[in-house]
Homo-oligomer: A and B are copies of this chain.
């Protein structure tokens, strides 16, 4: 496949071989694994055009991101619709092939978010558009809701699942294997009958399912019209060698498997999800399900950044030439956005995207590191966008105008207009007056602080705390209707006192689950972010994807 070096991928010449097809040219940044381009030069190439059940290039691995569905199931990770749309846009920029946008039947809010994202990617003429996928259990209502939500996308997909391990069939489904096969095939066929040409099926807990039963049910759903078969290691139980063997066995023994795509979905309970995912791809899976920062229930999922960078670094040499279509330079921004919106802080030693991932004891700016760079580093920070080259040449300072701020924010992945832009601009001016260098991190902190917030009911105008003797706090709250209230309270500490003072005014019974505060940028004049996780005592509920239970969702500030 032809590849050329160009500054702006969007203006890359389109190879003639693809001009005659009906499929759009995909002008993505594609950094082929094994080669390391300089940070300035980016290889432009073509992503194979999208056919649900077939990939023209046998070495291409599709990236299926489920940050918005499985990732959002993390305790406390609930995101607003606006935040989800923002992340979806960043995932598209990153070049993911499929975005699992949510579980539409679980709640009205989830339905609306998936629908909004599907409409965002409804353009028929851009090859960059990712597939938009909605989750559904194997029942008609779930599948209908999922289709209603995703059908506006230019490439819609329904993903349906049912458990196939003996323990799940016995205790959760209370169904015989025959009943499970029947349910799966009729529901896959039902999804196709609605007009959805792209249907993914997952046998839940495949890692612990009987092998022969797995071949049987997978063979039957292929006949029923499934185009991707996803093999989840639901409890994160298998070792890489076992998971690789599972994929190889399925590939070797399932009737009709050559007509569909095999996918992996690995949980991280034993810390093996990245290795299992790569083992699966090496054994024949051509779709991998991952999340940004590896978020998800319990110990989370395989993380996009680890899987993508492992394939990029070792694909040519150790994985028979596997590669992905991810533009890795957008990884850091995606990671920061998901960290901020989900409230799930990543640890400093998180591989690829952790604060220390490229730092040595003596700090990331240490001169000495430079001479050892190739001896200790296998990935350049620039490869993942860490020392981002300023593509537009915009450097912001206190004299910068609204237009420059808008352009810069677009570059960082935030599309901001109107009142939001006005608010951001005035905050930006205030910070720029106090701070010499406005870093990208400062801007991201400002955005998440000011713009993507829910509607205000009470605004906290001021809080004063002290602890001479007992801890006390005084708070001043302003209601949306203009009412002002001042209240004070004592407590076991300043946070406790401040919360009690707020409670005296607001009077909504909530449970405080978590409180944390961290500096998001460096230096003594850093911008700090606080995270408060609460659960209302009679609050919004949603349906859990796997257990089917109704759960109280947690909210954060």
Known: A235-B377, A303-B271, A377-B235. Contact between A523 and B528, CB under 8 A? no
CB under 8 Å from chain B, chain A span 159-197: 167-168, 171-172
Chain B residues near A517: list those with CB within 8 A: 516-518
Known contacts A515-B519, A525-B496; A74/B275 CB under 8 A: no
Q: Shortest beta-carbon distance, A150 to chain B, in Å?
A: 22
**Are B464 and A75 in contact, CB atoms less than 8 angstroms apart?**
no
Stretch at the interface among A210-218, A325-333, A348-356, A396-404: A348-356
Chain B residues near A512 (CB-CB < 8 A): 519, 522-524, 526
| A420 touches B (CB below 8 Å) | no
Interface flags for A228-241 (1: CB within 8 Å of B; 0: not) read 00000011110111
Residue from the list B236, B318, B349 in contact with A344, Cβ < 8 A: B349
Q: How far is it, in angstroms, between the C-alpha of A270 and the C-alpha of B362 when the chains are bound? A: 22
Docked complex: A278-310 residues within 8 A CB-CB of B: 278-279, 282, 293-300, 303, 306, 309-310
Stretch at the interface among A3-11, A12-20, A257-265, A545-553: A545-553
A293 CB contacts on chain B under 8 angstroms: 347
Contact of A297 among B76, B356, B462 (CB under 8 A): B356
A493 to chain B, nearest CB (A): 7
- A451 beta carbon closer than 8 Å to chain B: no
Which segment of A38-46, A86-94, A407-415, A465-473 sits at the interface? A465-473
Binding stretch for chain B, among A47-55, A368-376, A387-395, A477-485: A368-376
Contact B362 A318 (CB under 8 A): no
Question: What distance in Å separates the Cβ of A348 from its nearest Cβ neighbour in chain B?
Answer: 5
Q: A357-B298, A360-B547 are in contact. Are A351 and B239 (CB under 8 A)?
A: no
Q: How far is the CA of A274 from the CA of B375 in the complex (A)?
A: 22
Name the contact of A268 in the complex, choosing from B313, B318, B351, B435 (C-beta under 8 A): B351
Q: Is residue A359 within 8 Å, beta carbon to beta carbon, of the partner chain?
A: yes
Contact check, B547 vs A372: say whether CB atoms are below 8 A apart: yes
Contacts A306-B271, A524-B499 given; indicate if A167 touches B374 (C-beta within 8 A): yes
In the complex, A517→B371 CA distance in Å? 36
Q: A240 with B271: in contact, given A297-B356, A361-B74 (CB under 8 Å)?
A: no
Are B271 and A310 in contact, with the CB atoms below 8 A?
Answer: yes
A71 to B499, CA, bound (A): 37
A344 to B, closest residue via Cβ? B348
**Interface residue A378 (Cβ < 8 Å from any Cβ of B):** yes
CB distance from A277 to the nearest CB of B (A): 10
Assuming the A-B contacts A378-B269, A434-B492, A515-B528, are A172 and B297 also in contact, with contact meaning beta carbons closer than 8 angstroms in the complex? no
A243 CB, min distance to chain B CBs, angstroms: 10
Kindly provide the distance from the CB of A489 to the nearest chain B CB, expressed in whole angstroms. Answer: 11
Residue picked from A237, A310, A362, A467, most chain B C-beta under 10 Å: A362
Question: Would B351 and A299 count as touching, CB distance under 8 A?
Answer: yes
A348 and B75 contact, CB distance less than 8 A: yes
Q: Does A73 contact B (CB under 8 A)?
A: yes
Partner of A172 from the list B239, B345, B375, B435 (CB cut-off 8 Å) is B375
CB A63 to nearest CB in B, in angstroms, measures 15
CB-CB under 8 A from A495, the residues of chain B are 519, 524, 526, 528
Taking a contact as CB atoms under 8 Å apart, the answer to whether B551 and A362 are in contact is: yes
Please measure, in the bound complex, the distance between the C-alpha atom of A446 and the C-alpha atom of B319, giving whole angstroms.
50
Contacting pair B375 A167 (CB below 8 A): yes
Instruction: Check if A378 sits within 8 Å of B235, measured CB to CB.
Output: yes
> Cβ of A418: which chain B residues have Cβ within 8 Å of it?
none
A239-B318, A299-B352, A514-B518 known; 8 new pairs, CB 8 Å cut-off, are A239-B278, A270-B310, A271-B275, A297-B360, A360-B551, A464-B468, A495-B526, A515-B528
Q: Which residues of A come within 8 Å of B, CB atoms? A: 73-76, 167-168, 171-172, 205, 234-237, 239-242, 268-272, 274-276, 278-279, 282, 293-300, 303, 306, 309-310, 313-314, 318-319, 344-352, 354, 356-363, 366, 368, 371-372, 374-379, 431, 434-435, 462-468, 491-493, 495-496, 499-500, 511-519, 522-528, 535, 544, 546-547, 549, 551-553
Question: Can you report 14 A-B residue pairs in the complex whose CB atoms are below 8 A from each other?
Answer: A74-B349, A171-B371, A205-B375, A239-B275, A240-B279, A344-B349, A346-B347, A360-B551, A361-B553, A362-B549, A435-B492, A462-B466, A463-B467, A517-B517
